[in-house]
Structure 1
């Protein structure tokens, strides 16, 4: 199809989407804030009438003092049948099961027709954790976040994951790109496209999914695994990235990656022994040797936050002070400032993802996240998040994501469970 014909078709489809959203009480803007293989995410405004008739919207937006939402539009007509039949329903089910937690992106409602599904989601306007780490690193001229800030954010992440696990949901794709920040600086966990909703504690799973740099060794070895324990490994990788500005294991071949995992992470000078101990406790090769969430919450590096942390799981989110960091300098819905010569953690590309940037990889499901095919298994690429496009790239590479040339053979033909 020629370019002009493609543009006309795109304009016609977008006009239909605007009309369909307006009929449901949402004013869809032309500002695309994310995209994936089968989806696009737009900034939208809920009408007063819609807010009045949607209890979730009314309760949440009242505290936010605005009426902005993110609408993810999934082209079910273009997506593979397995995606529409399995992954999209799982995502919606997971978001419904984790509703009403301060640190999980909220799903307000869904609607669909024969061509498209619409997910009306909470807006997290300040980008993802990866962007934040790179932005703060640039301002500090030192890779990574300060430990105090990393502790505050990690506490919120652990609370979100604990809430998911207590609701019978394992995420299976925890990574910096799937963690968003809202206008108040609160952390929001997103991207439940690979979540499993079995509800059985430590049920064994077999699907190879997620990004290899954050993937637990038992999954890389194609063993059956407990989703909760795999999530704990990913938490260790994320914490390491927060405090060091890089990922702990960097290799091209999975077997060499496993060799590095067996050796364990190395740490920069000046990182506290308590933080190192917590990371090591999460990055244990044997799943049953890893710290569980209760042990993480009670770890001395996390104190004095442990008592409030698991109150959150029971339904009451702890008050989180707004911390004075570089977040306060980032305008809402604006692209971050160029990072100059300071290097960014690189995003893995997702096969088949489409994005309006030409050079910047981006997150999954609706988010602008061009994930490299070799870092994402070919089972599916549902993606679930949304994120601002526009972060600048850099020429130097000290803070680089490990690159895996190919997923294990089992990953390409695995049965989804």
Structure 2
């Protein structure tokens, strides 16, 4: 009886949401593609009338040219807040890792693919940090892939502005599997250094198909963190070195974004980007034009490009010495063979009971995230 009553209430609430979306120019689909502690995510269509009143929305649906996840519109009433978001057609990184692991019967992504994605992720995090913004919830479920396979960082619900260089935060937030040890110990922490730990966990998940520390209890997690990560056979020493450099218990001992970008394991990605840029430049281009082109490898009309990373690897390519925690230069991509593993280890478990995911469909489908109460953002 209670289940039936609950179902009727859910149906009534959904019909209300359908009417509220329609009144604001969106057709809400019945397909729920994700849910979390604060919201539910549905597929939705933008009506022609809505697109006539939202030029940016109409332009993006005709042909995407930006490199960041878009929030197109918000509207609210006394009970709900609606967020109209861009649809990432290829889902999230967690889904991608699991799909590739199952397809090749080997856990994790190829190192070359992981390197390409990590370069984009580091660029995104560097852009945020340059603006004084810390994410505080970096994880595979919050990293989306568009229809070209390009990475986009999403879900800034726990983000915080950390303007002062040595300012410390105190809010316990994020997912336990990706959370830095200083946060688990309820210490005040540097948000940028906490993001670096989460970056290391994400890289580990990409190349191994699992999480380095899998425990629900914080004290057990801390015990595993003290022991350090273990690696599957066949993973290159350079990749292991980079992961260890990020998963340092002491926050100040972790590799910074500059050191990550110039790490030996990352250099093939920087070299590929450099060669791609050169191929796109006319032969008689002068040096000032070359510099301008390098700073616009990934044009972004919404915000300034993450300049720091482009400055990071250019000295390394020119032979200038750069600080790195790695050893000798790595072998070419693919030199370290992948070895098989038991099928039981293929699935990378989600850190949420129902992680926020995205569907696979064509435009003009959008994501409509519905919060039951007005969003609350932490202040520290």
The TM-score range, normalised by the shorter chain, is: 0.7 to 0.9
Aligned-residue offset at 1:146: 0.3
Alpha-carbon distance change, 259 to 14 in structure 1, aligned in 2, over 3 angstroms:
closer
Pair 1:346-2:356 in alignment: no
Pair 1:387-2:358 in alignment: yes
Q: Secondary structure at the match of 1:143?
A: coil
Q: Which residue in 2 is equivalent to 1:241? A: 205
Aligned-residue offset at 1:291: 1.3
Q: Which residue in 2 is equivalent to 1:155? A: 119
Alpha-carbon distance change, 109 to 199 in structure 1, aligned in 2, over 3 angstroms:
farther
Q: Which residue in 1 is equivalent to 2:83? A: 119
Whether the aligned pair in 2 keeps the contact of 1:101 and 1:160 (CA below 8 Å) is no
Distance of 1:258 and 1:310 partners within structure 2: 41
Aligned-residue offset at 1:343: 3.9
Of 121-130 and 245-254, the range deviating more from structure 2: 245-254
Alpha-carbon distance change, 279 to 310 in structure 1, aligned in 2, over 3 angstroms:
farther
Q: Secondary structure at the match of 2:161?
A: coil
- Of 304, 307, 324, the match for 1:315: 304
Structure number with the bigger relative contact order (C-alpha 8 A, sep ≥ 6) is: 2
Q: Which residue in 1 is equivalent to 2:232? A: 268
Q: Secondary structure at the match of 2:41?
A: strand
Distance of 2:173 and 2:39 partners within structure 1: 19
Q: Which residue in 2 is equivalent to 1:6? A: 6
Alpha-carbon distance change, 57 to 317 in structure 1, aligned in 2, over 3 angstroms:
farther
Q: Which residue in 2 is equivalent to 1:16? A: 16
- Of 208, 229, 238, the match for 2:193: 229
Deviations 1:302-361 (A, max 9, x none): 12444779865973489xxxxxxxxxxxxxxxxxxxxx8664121234xxxxxxxxxxx3
Distance of 1:42 and 1:253 partners within structure 2: 32
Q: How does 1:24-35 map to 2 (within 5 A)?
A: 24-35=24-35
Deviations 1:217-243 (A, max 9, x none): 111222110001000000001101110
Q: Which residue in 1 is equivalent to 2:152? A: 188
Q: Which residue in 2 is equivalent to 1:68? A: none
Aligned-residue offset at 1:301: 1.4
Alpha-carbon distance change, 310 to 237 in structure 1, aligned in 2, over 3 angstroms:
farther
Whether the aligned pair in 2 keeps the contact of 1:206 and 1:416 (CA below 8 Å) is no
Pair 1:106-2:70 in alignment: yes
Q: Which residue in 2 is equivalent to 1:362? A: 354
Q: Secondary structure at the match of 2:10?
A: helix
Whether the aligned pair in 1 keeps the contact of 2:144 and 2:151 (CA below 8 Å) is yes
Q: Secondary structure at the match of 1:302?
A: helix
Q: TM-score under structure 2 normalisation?
A: 0.72
- Which structure has greater helix proportion? 2
Q: Which residue in 2 is equivalent to 1:284? A: 248
Q: TM-score under structure 1 normalisation?
A: 0.66
Larger C-alpha radius of gyration, 1 or 2? 2
Give structure 2 stretches of 5+ with no counterpart. 275-293, 308-342, 361-377
Aligned-residue offset at 1:253: 4.3
What root-mean-square deviation, in Å, do the aligned CA atoms of Structure 1 and Structure 2 show?
Answer: 2.8
Give structure 1 stretches of 5+ with no counterpart. 65-99, 319-339, 350-360, 368-385, 390-414
Distance of 1:179 and 1:186 partners within structure 2: 10
Aligned-residue offset at 1:145: 0.5
Distance of 2:25 and 2:217 partners within structure 1: 50
Alpha-carbon distance change, 286 to 43 in structure 1, aligned in 2, over 3 angstroms:
same
Q: Which residue in 2 is equivalent to 1:131? A: 95
Q: Which residue in 2 is equivalent to 1:92? A: none
Q: Secondary structure at the match of 2:266?
A: coil
Q: Secondary structure at the match of 1:303?
A: helix
